[in-house]
Structure formats: C-alpha cells, structure tokens
C-alpha cells in the first residue's frame, strides 16, 4: 500500500513541486503578505488618543501631504539612500572586478574574507563608527596631527555624512557577491576582441564590461537602496537631528506617538514608492536580464 502511494505521489509532478514549495510559500505568506496587509488595513483606520477606531478614513494619507516635514524628510531619505547605494557600488565593483579578472587562485578564500563584516554585530559596527567620527575620535585626532584642522570638527558625527559612511561600510561587502557573479559569467573573449580592434582598457570597460554587467548593477542597486530607505537604527545612533530619516519618523509614530494608523500610512507610502521605482528600473533593464545575472 505504501509503495503504491509513493508511486502515485511521484507521478504527480505538480503536487511534488507544490509540496516542496509549501513551506516557503507559507513562510512568505505569514511574514510578508499578512503583515503588509495588516499595515495597509491599519492605514485606513482612525486614531483617538490611544485607541484605534476601525473606521475607514483617508485622513492619515492626507496628513502625509499636509505635514510640512513629511515630504522633505522622505526626499532626504531617498537622497541618503541613493548616496549609500552609489558609495557601496563604488567600493564593491572594483573589488568584484579584481576578483573576477585579476585573481587566478584563492578566489573562494578572498570571497569568504569579504564576509568578515557579516560575522560582526550590526550595532558593533555602528558604535565603532560613532567612536571613529566622534569629537575626540580617531578621525579628528588624525586631522589634528596632520594639521589639516586647528580644532576637532564637530560635523563628522551626528550628520548625514555619518549615516552615509556607516551604511556604506555595512552594505558594500554584500554587493561584491552579485557583482562578482555578473562579472564571472561575462564572456572574456569579448574583451579580447575589443582590445584587438584597438580599444583602450577604459573604452573596453565602458563599451563592453559595463553594459554586460549592467543587470548585476541593477541587482546591487535594489539590494542596497530598498532597505536603506527605511533605515532608522543607524540614523538614530550616528545621525542626530541632521541625519534624521523617514524610517525614524515611522518608528516614532509607532513607539513614541502610539499612532499606528498614521505610522502605517507613512510606511505604506514608502513601500508603494519604492515598489514603483523598482518596477520602473526592472522594466528599463529587463527582468530576464536581471535574472540571468543572478
């Protein structure tokens, strides 16, 4: 009886696929779709003091436009996230290029070495930069010893610069892997053909390497840009008032203001804007090319 059941189960390919994906689909449904639906539902409810009234209203979304700090803060978060993305790619791309084209041996150990920051606590990295950028920190001491400044600079810490440099340190190692995979899959003979046709190394990079690895760059952009737009831990620790981001505003509405409907509406606005930007970017590049680069 057991053998017959197993034979019947093996014949049903679709059932096997579904059973294999059932756990992943359940996890996806439970921890992504359901919380997103709850946030969306809360965003249309009304808040009275500390009580949430399940009554439909669009006032929460109207407050996003009415409050003079919401839109500028959201735009500042987009700019900071874009700066973090560009800085992370600026560090990760040369490292991935070196591993893909210059390293013959020990590629795997070097890739594993790049995972070093992943083994370090996120908060430990943030506090380390807080010490480095502090008024009496390492960077100010270096600037004083080099006589580049007469007194310690107080603009390094608690500023957008501190948020950007800390997030670049956290996220840039992650980008080496998708960029390395994209560069490694590239047909190296195309570079040889370009050189044979008289192209300089710079021209070969701009006209051959960069266009062929563009889908990998898109993956890297999405990999960093999406999570850093809603970042609130790093700005709270090293950003100060000048480094305050949109995620901090949402976090304050939830945990300090106890205004879950307004916080939910702001969070869903951020989610919608980021999704639209992601879809436009994927459409411009082509989803098939992006998947091929992975």
* Contact between 274 and 82 (Cβ < 8 Å): no
Closest-CA residue to 70 (of 80, 82, 62): 62
Instruction: Look at residue 147 in the predicted model and tell me its pLDDT.
Output: 80
Closest-CA residue to 134 (of 250, 237, 264, 232): 237
Q: What are phi and psi of 116, to 5 degrees?
A: -55, -50
Residue spans per domain, the chain: 68-293
Residue 1 pLDDT greater than 60, yes or no: no
State the Cα–Cα distance between residues 271 and 278, nearest whole angstrom: 10
Pairing of strands 46-48, 51-53: antiparallel
| Residue 52: strand pairing partners | 47
Instruction: Look at residue 225 in the predicted model and tell me its pLDDT.
Output: 93
- Share of residues in the chain with pLDDT > 70 (%): 89
* Contact between 84 and 174 (Cβ < 8 Å): no
Instruction: Look at residue 58 in the predicted model and tell me its pLDDT.
Output: 92
Beta-carbon contacts of residue 251 (< 8 Å; ≥ 6 apart): 232, 236, 263
Q: What are phi and psi of 103, to 5 degrees?
A: -90, 125
Q: What are phi and psi of 153, to 5 degrees?
A: -80, 130
Instruction: Look at residue 59 in the predicted model and tell me its pLDDT.
Output: 92
Q: What confidence tier does 137 reach under pLDDT thresholds 50, 70, 90?
A: confident
Instruction: Look at residue 164 in the predicted model and tell me its pLDDT.
Output: 95
* Contact between 172 and 124 (Cβ < 8 Å): no
pLDDT in tens, 57-74: 999 999 999 999 999 999
CA distances from 88 to 100, 121, 217 (A): 18, 19, 11
State the Cα–Cα distance between residues 138 and 145, nearest whole angstrom: 11
Instruction: Look at residue 44 in the predicted model and tell me its pLDDT.
Output: 94
Residue 173 pLDDT greater than 60, yes or no: yes
DSSP secondary structure letter of residue 151: S
Kindly state the average pLDDT of the residues 223-252.
92
- The arrangement of secondary structure in 68-293, i.e. its CATH architecture, is Orthogonal Bundle (1.10)
State the Cα–Cα distance between residues 168 and 83, nearest whole angstrom: 9
pLDDT in tens, 102-133: 887 888 888 878 777 677 788 888 999 988 98
Residue 40 pLDDT greater than 60, yes or no: yes
The residue with greater pLDDT, 7 or 288, is 288
| Planar angle of CA 159, 86, 209, nearest 5 degrees | 165
pTM value is: 0.86
| Residue 47: strand pairing partners | 52
State the Cα–Cα distance between residues 99 and 203, nearest whole angstrom: 20
């Amino acid at each position: 009886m057991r053998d017959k059941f197993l034979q019947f189960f093996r014949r049903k390919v679709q059932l096997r696929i579904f059973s294999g994906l059932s756990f992943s689909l359940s996890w996806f449904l439970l921890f992504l779709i359901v919380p997103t639906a709850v946030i969306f539902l809360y965003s249309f409810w009304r808040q009275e003091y500390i009580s949430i009234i399940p009554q439909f209203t669009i006032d929460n979304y109207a407050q996003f436009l009415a409050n003079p700090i919401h839109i500028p803060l959201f735009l500042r978060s987009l700019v900071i996230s874009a700066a973090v993305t560009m800085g992370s790619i600026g560090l990760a791309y040369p490292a991935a290029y070196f591993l893909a084209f210059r390293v013959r041996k020990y590629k795997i150990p070097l890739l594993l070495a790049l995972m070093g920051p992943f083994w370090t606590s996120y908060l430990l990295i943030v506090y380390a930069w807080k010490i480095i950028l502090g008024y009496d920190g390492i960077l100010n001491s270096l600037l004083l010893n080099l006589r580049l400044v007469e007194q310690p600079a107080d603009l390094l810490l608690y500023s957008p610069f501190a948020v950007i440099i800390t997030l670049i340190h956290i996220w840039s190692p992650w980008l080496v892997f998708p960029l390395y995979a994209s560069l490694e899959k590239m047909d190296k003979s195309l570079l040889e053909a370009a050189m044979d046709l008289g192209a300089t190394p710079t021209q070969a990079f701009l006209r051959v390497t960069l266009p062929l690895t563009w889908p990998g760059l898109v993956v890297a952009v999405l990999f960093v840009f999406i999570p850093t737009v809603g970042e609130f831990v790093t700005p709270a620790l090293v950003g100060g008032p000048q480094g305050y981001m949109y995620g901090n505003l949402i976090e304050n509405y939830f945990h300090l203001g106890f205004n879950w409907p307004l916080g939910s509406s702001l969070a869903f606005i951020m989610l919608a804007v980021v999704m639209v930007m992601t879809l436009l970017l994927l459409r411009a590049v082509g989803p098939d090319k992006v998947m091929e680069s992975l």
